[in-house]
Structures are given as C-alpha cells and as structure tokens.
Amino acid sequence: MSSLSGKQGPRYRHMAEDGAPYETIAVEKLTPIIGAEITGVDIGKLVSDKSRSNRQMDEIHRALAENLVIFFRDQHISPQQHLAFGRKFGELHVHPAAPNDGDPALMKIYADKDSPRANGEGWHTDVSCDLEPPMGSILYIKQCPPRGGDTLFANMYAAYEALSDRMKTYLDGLTARHNGEHYRGQYANYGIKDKESYPYADHPVVRTHPVTGRKALYVNGGFTRYINGIPRDESDGILRYLFQHMANPLFQCRFRWQENSIAFWDNRCAQHHAMWDYWPHTRSGHRVTVKGDRPV
Ligand code: SIN
C-alpha cells in the first residue's frame, strides 16, 4: 500500500476545516475526513412540519456535502416517514433485485441465523450498474446484534486526491464498466431472467460531484468489472491497485449501530462496506434510496 505521508507532509489534505456554524442542527464529526453525527433533528417531525423543514433541510444537505455520510440516533419513524424523508432529497430509486417491504422503494435489510450472508458486504457504492446510480441512501436500523454489524464508509475525494499526479493523469477521461451480475440469484423475482438483461453501465473512473464540484474516484469492487479501452490485464492491475488504495483506513470511518439509528450516505463520493460478523444474531431495517444523475 502506498504511503500517504512523507517528507513533504500528507498527500491528503482534508476538507474538514470548520465552516460557518450550523443554526438548526448540531454536527459532531466522527473523523476529520468522513462522517458526522447530527443532533437536534426529529425526522418524524421534520417530514410533517413544513414550516421548520426548509432551514433544517438546508443544513442537513450541507452537513451531507461536508461529511459524505451523516448519522442520526434515536429516531422513531414509520416506513411512510422514512419514505417521505427520502423524497425530500429527490425521487426514490427502486432496487432492481433486492427485496422490499410493501412499497417498492422500501428496501429490506435483513440478516439472521439462517442467512448465508448479509447485504452490502464488500466495498461498493449502491447500484453503480445503473445508468443513473442513486445519489444517496438512507438506512434505518431497527434491530441490532449485541455486537458487530458496523458499517464502514470511505471518502472517495480523499482517495482521489491522494493519488500521484501521474496516476491522476492516467485515469483522466477513462470510463469503466459496472455490472450488476452479482445480484443474479435475485433478478428472477423481479422479472429479469436472462444474463443479457442484467443492468450495466459505463461511468467515468473519476467523477465530478454535481454539488461540491470536487473530483472523486468512482470505481468499486462490488460492481466495476473493467476499464474500457485498455487491455484486460492492464485494467485488472489498475483496478486492483485502486481498490487497495481506496481501502486505506485513513479515508474511513466506522459506524456502530444502535437501534433506531439512521445513516445517510452520498454514493457520489463515498463507498461503504457492511460487516457480516454477527451470525447468529439478527440485524434488520430498511433502506430508502434517492435517485441520482448520470455521473460525469
Ligand atoms: C447497503 O449496502 O445498503 C447495506 C449497508 C448496511 O447494511 O450497513
């Protein structure tokens, strides 16, 4: 793994400089680089109270842009309020293969003693096999194992900024193929039967975030299969390097769930990895996912 510091100082300079104070929420960073816990918000009230919502919503938006993933504790919301919270950020995305609970946009997150594995293992951004992958995901966990089941998040601006200038130049303008083949066991439930119909998309290897204007690495181990226009063995080598580079703990935070916690992450600049280390216990909740734009 490359060293990220040296005689010239750290190659990564984080954006965690304190900006203007927040007025309607409190924001406590988990690490200087990624993640913040938000207090002073009751999401159930926020979605029904129109008069209060705009100011707080603006600050929640800002906290997400500044921290890439934000966390809320002790939230007591119904599935309808969860969906309504998601809709405040945009139209809702329907997962092409994952099970839902009543509403197609209410994705079920569930693992217990009978599960062969849990959703979301391995580093990924959600559904990057879509032409317009989700901008964000809002996960509400209602039941937690006594230990384990944490989710890790990694900052893809930081990963990009820490690359050498030569590597940045090399990656500039390249696109990569993302495909959703790993959901293959689940498509049949949703009417997709043949391999040719599995979703896939080509996206820039480095994308520019539409809100912050910053560049972020946009390849991930879950979906990205190869870089277009270069020999396959070269693509394999470059992707192997990038996946290893972006998994550096320097770019990460780790969230320890409690019942009734929410994590809201920005898929355009963060990756996540759910730990499946709690068998035979149960972990359960729902994810509401907000549609995004075509990456550029
Ligand atoms: C996911 O990828 O949405 C699952 C994340 C988690 O269960 O922590």
Read off the tokens for 213. 């204007």
Residue 177 makes CB contacts below 8 A (sequence gap 6+) with 200, 201, 202, 224, 225, 226, 227, 228
Q: What CA–CA distance (Å, rounded) separates 36 from 13?
A: 18
* Mean pLDDT within 98-120: 90
Q: What integer pLDDT is reported at residue 116 of this predicted model?
A: 85
User: How much distance in Å is there from the Cα of 273 to the middle of ligand 1?
Assistant: 7
- Of 268, 259, 292, the C-alpha closest to 140 is 259
Q: Whose CA is nearest to atom 1 of ligand 1?
A: 120
Q: What integer pLDDT is reported at residue 96 of this predicted model?
A: 80
To the nearest whole percent, how much of the chain has pLDDT over 90?
79
Q: What integer pLDDT is reported at residue 12 of this predicted model?
A: 42
Q: What integer pLDDT is reported at residue 112 of this predicted model?
A: 95
* Mean pLDDT within 22-49: 95
- Of 290, 281, 289, the C-alpha closest to 118 is 281
**Could you tell which of 186, 287, 288 is best to mutate to test the pocket of ligand 1, judged by most ligand atoms within 8 Å of the CB?**
287
Q: Whose CA is nearest to atom 3 of ligand 1?
A: 120
The pLDDT of residue 52 is above 60: no
The pLDDT of residue 41 is above 80: yes
Instruction: Categorize the per-residue pLDDT at 128 as very low, low, confident or very high, splitting at 50, 70 and 90.
Output: very high
User: How much distance in Å is there from the Cα of 122 to the middle of ligand 1?
Assistant: 10
Q: Which residues are catalytic?
A: 124, 126, 272, 287
Shortest-distance atom of ligand 1 to CA 257: 8
The pLDDT of residue 245 is above 50: yes
3-state secondary structure 71-92: EECCCCCCHHHHHHHHHCCCCE
Q: What integer pLDDT is reported at residue 248 of this predicted model?
A: 97
Q: What integer pLDDT is reported at residue 208 of this predicted model?
A: 98
Mean pLDDT over all residues of the chain?
Answer: 90
Q: What integer pLDDT is reported at residue 20 of this predicted model?
A: 87
Angstrom distances, CA of residue 124 to CA of 145, 221, 278: 23, 6, 20
Shortest-distance atom of ligand 1 to CA 275: 8
Q: Whose CA is nearest to atom 6 of ligand 1?
A: 274
Q: What integer pLDDT is reported at residue 190 of this predicted model?
A: 59
Residue 262 makes CB contacts below 8 A (sequence gap 6+) with 43, 71, 72, 75, 138, 139, 140, 141
Cβ atoms within 10 Å of 90's Cβ, excluding its own? 15
Q: What integer pLDDT is reported at residue 165 of this predicted model?
A: 98
The pLDDT of residue 187 is above 70: no
Of 42-56, 74-88, 175-189, 264-278, minimum mean pLDDT range: 175-189
Task: Between 155 and 97, name the one with better pLDDT.
Answer: 155
**Could you tell which of 108, 139, 262 is best to mutate to test the pocket of ligand 1, judged by most ligand atoms within 8 Å of the CB?**
139
* Mean pLDDT within 154-176: 98
Shortest-distance atom of ligand 1 to CA 285: 7
Q: Whose CA is nearest to atom 4 of ligand 1?
A: 120
Q: Tell me the pLDDT tens digit for each residue of 253-272.
A: 999 999 999 999 999 999 99
Contact between 223 and 177 (Cβ < 8 Å) = no
Task: Between 295 and 196, name the one with better pLDDT.
Answer: 295
The pLDDT of residue 212 is above 90: yes
Q: Tell me the pLDDT tens digit for each residue of 4-15.
A: 544 444 444 444
Biggest alpha carbon–alpha carbon distance for the chain: 57
Q: What integer pLDDT is reported at residue 18 of this predicted model?
A: 59
**Phi and psi, residue 203, nearest 5°:** -130, 155
- Cα R_g (the chain), whole angstroms: 19
Q: Which residues line ligand 1 (CB under 6 A)?
A: 109, 119-120, 137, 139, 151, 272, 274, 287
Read off the amino acid at residue 207.
R
